[in-house]
C-alpha cells in the first residue's frame, strides 16, 4: 500500500482553516501534540487517536516555554524528515502535520535564534517568551495545585509552559480528541484538569506507557544514555514493576516502605533520585498507605539524563 503523505502546515491560520474545513465535512479531529524525534511511543498515541477520530493532526514543536536556563533545550533531539517518514509508515497514515515556526511573540527579539533566546533569563522566568519591554509574551496558563508536586518541585516553570503551549495548540487545531501518554503522568492529569476547568470541548485520552523490549519506558532522551547508563536505567522499570505487584497483592501497603525499596534499587544501580512518590491517581496528593488507586511516579538521573516513569497501582 502506498504511504499516505500528510499535508505539512506551518501557519496558524492555515491550520485553523484546515480543521474547520474538515469539521464542515462532518469529520471528527484527533490531535497528538509532540516535540518531534518520534519513536514507537509517539506512534502508539497516534494509533490510539485513530480509534476515536476520522482525521488526525500531529504537531511537531519544541516548546521553549517549558525549558529553564539549566535545562536541555539546546540538546533536545530533532529529526523532522525522519519524523515524516515514520508518520508515513503508519498503516493508515495521518492527515496533517502542524509544525509552526514559532508560537510566541518575542517583542524585539523575534530575529534571534531559539537557543539564544532560551538563554536570556530574568529571575525564574524564561525571557525568550516573557514580556520584553511590553511587547513580548505575557499570558500564561497554570494548573496551580497539580503542578506543584512531583516534577513541579524541581522544574517550577515546566507545567506552566506545557499548559500554555497546549492551550495555544488546542485553540489553533481545534480538535475533538487529544491523546497524551501516561508516561508523563502528571502532565496528562494537568491537561485533563485544564480542559475541564477552562471548558474546552475536547476529550483528553490517556494512552498507556510504551516500553522497549527490556522494559525501559520509551523516551526521546534514551538516545542520550551511554550503554552502561542504559543498563543502569532499567532499574527504574524493574523496581516499579515489583512495587506494583507487591502493593496489588497486599504485601506492602505502607508507602514509605515501598518507596524505600524502589529508591534503594535505583541508587544501587547508579541512579540519582529526583523523586519517588506514591500519589492519588487524580489529585496527585501523596499518600501514606495504599488503600485506593494510586500512581507510583519516579524521576531519576543517570549521568546527565533525567528519566521519568510510573506505574498505576489499582487496589
Long-range contacts at 76-79 (CB < 8 A, ≥ 24 apart): 76/35, 76/37, 76/220, 77/36, 77/37, 77/220, 77/223, 77/224, 78/36, 78/37, 79/36, 79/37
Strands (DSSP E) contained in 86-232 are 96-98, 121-122, 125-126, 177-181, 203-207
Residue 268 forms part of a structural domain: yes
Cα gap 31→240, rounded to integer Å: 30
Residue 216 forms part of a structural domain: no
Residue 213 forms part of a structural domain: no
Beta bridge partners of 202: none
Ramachandran assignment for 150, one of left (phi > 0), alpha (psi -120 to 50 degrees), beta (any other): left
Our CA angle for 315, 178, 165, nearest 5°, is: 110
Q: What is the pLDDT of residue 69?
A: 65
Whole-structure pTM value? 0.91
Q: Which of 184, 207, 230 is the last residue of a domain?
A: 207
Residue 281 forms part of a structural domain: yes
Grid coordinates standing for 264?
534503594
In a shared domain, residues 170 and 37: yes
Residue 70: which residues within 8 A CB-CB, separation 6 or more?
none
Grid coordinates standing for 160?
506552566
Grid coordinates standing for 163?
499548559
Q: What is the pLDDT of residue 250?
A: 82
Which of 245, 252, 250, 259 shows the shortest CA–CA distance to 296? 259
In a shared domain, residues 93 and 233: no
Residue 2 forms part of a structural domain: no
In a shared domain, residues 290 and 257: yes
In a shared domain, residues 35 and 178: yes
In a shared domain, residues 50 and 175: yes
**Is the CA virtual torsion 123, 110, 147, 270 positive or negative?**
negative
In a shared domain, residues 91 and 184: yes
Q: What is the pLDDT of residue 74?
A: 72
- Burial class of residue 308 (count of CB atoms within 10 Å of its CB; 0-12, 13-18, 19+): buried
By annotation, the residues acting in catalysis are: 42
In a shared domain, residues 180 and 263: no
| Domain CATH number, residue 268 | 3.30.1300.10
Instruction: State in Å, rounded, how far the first CA of the chain is from the last one.
Output: 45
Using DSSP's 3-state secondary structure scheme, residue 66 falls into: helix
pLDDT in tens, the chain (315 residues): 567 899 999 999 999 999 999 999 999 999 999 999 999 999 999 999 999 999 999 999 999 888 876 666 777 889 999 999 999 999 999 999 999 998 987 765 443 444 343 333 333 444 345 555 556 778 899 999 999 999 999 998 899 999 999 999 999 999 999 999 999 999 999 999 999 999 999 999 999 999 999 999 999 999 999 999 999 999 999 999 999 999 998 877 899 999 999 999 999 999 999 999 999 999 999 999 998 999 999 999 999 999 999 999 998
Which of 118, 151, 152 shows the shortest CA–CA distance to 307? 151
Q: Are 294 and 278 in contact (CB under 8 A)?
A: yes
Q: Which of 207, 232, 263 is the last residue of a domain?
A: 207
In a shared domain, residues 31 and 126: yes
- Domain span at residue 110 reads 7-207
Q: What is the pLDDT of residue 199?
A: 98
Q: What is the pLDDT of residue 112?
A: 42
Residue 212 forms part of a structural domain: no
| Domain CATH number, residue 55 | 3.40.50.620
Residue 54 forms part of a structural domain: yes
- What is the DSSP pairing of strand 305-313 with strand 294-302? antiparallel
In a shared domain, residues 55 and 118: yes
Cα gap 237→256, rounded to integer Å: 18
Residue 13 forms part of a structural domain: yes
Q: What is the pLDDT of residue 315?
A: 86
In a shared domain, residues 187 and 42: yes
In a shared domain, residues 281 and 192: no
Cα gap 122→262, rounded to integer Å: 37
Per the structure, how many domains does the chain have? Answer: 2
In a shared domain, residues 192 and 262: no
Q: Which of 149, 180, 207 is the last residue of a domain?
A: 207
Amino acid at each position: 500500500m502506498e504511504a499516505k503523505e500528510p499535508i505539512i502546515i506551518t501557519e496558524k491560520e492555515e491550520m485553523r482553516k484546515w480543521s474547520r474545513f474538515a469539521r464542515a465535512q462532518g469529520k471528527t479531529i484527533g490531535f497528538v501534540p509532540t516535540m518531534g524525534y518520534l519513536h514507537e511511543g509517539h506512534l502508539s498515541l497516534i494509533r490510539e487517536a485513530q480509534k476515536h477520530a476520522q482525521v488526525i493532526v500531529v504537531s511537531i514543536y519544541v516548546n521553549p516555554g517549558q525549558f529553564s536556563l539549566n535545562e536541555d533545550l539546546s540538546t533536545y533531539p530533532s529529526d523532522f524528515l525522519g519524523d515524516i517518514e515514520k508518520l508515513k509508515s503508519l498503516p493508515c497514515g495521518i492527515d496533517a502535520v502542524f509544525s509552526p515556526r514559532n508560537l510566541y511573540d518575542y517583542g524585539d527579539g523575534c530575529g534571534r535564534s531559539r537557543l539564544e533566546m532560551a538563554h536570556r533569563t530574568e529571575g525564574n522566568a524564561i525571557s525568550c517568551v516573557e514580556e520584553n519591554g511590553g511587547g513580548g509574551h505575557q499570558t500564561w496558563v497554570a494548573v496551580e495545585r497539580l503542578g506543584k508536586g512531583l516534577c513541579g518541585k524541581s522544574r517550577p516553570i515546566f507545567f506552566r509552559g506545557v499548559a500554555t503551549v497546549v492551550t495555544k495548540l488546542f485553540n489553533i487545531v481545534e480538535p475533538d480528541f487529544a491523546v497524551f501518554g501516561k508516561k508523563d503522568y502528571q502532565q496528562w492529569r494537568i491537561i485533563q484538569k485544564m480542559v475541564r476547568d477552562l471548558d474546552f470541548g475536547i476529550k483528553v485520552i490517556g494512552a498507556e506507557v510504551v516500553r522497549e523490549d527490556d522494559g525501559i519506558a520509551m523516551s526521546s532522551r534514551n538516545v542520550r544514555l551511554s550503554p552502561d547508563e542504559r543498563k543502569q536505567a532499567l532499574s527504574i522499570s524493574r523496581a516499579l514493576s515489583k512495587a506494583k505487584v507487591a502493593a496489588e497483592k497486599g504485601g506492602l501497603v505502607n508507602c514509605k516502605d515501598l518507596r524505600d525499596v524502589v529508591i534503594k534499587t535505583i541508587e544501587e544501580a547508579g541512579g540519582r533520585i529526583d523523586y519517588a512518590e506514591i500519589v492519588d491517581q487524580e489529585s496527585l496528593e501523596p499518600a501514606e498507605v495504599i488503600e485506593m488507586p494510586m500512581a507510583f511516579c519516579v524521576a531519576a538521573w543517570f549521568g546527565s539524563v533525567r528519566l521519568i516513569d510510573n506505574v498505576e497501582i489499582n487496589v
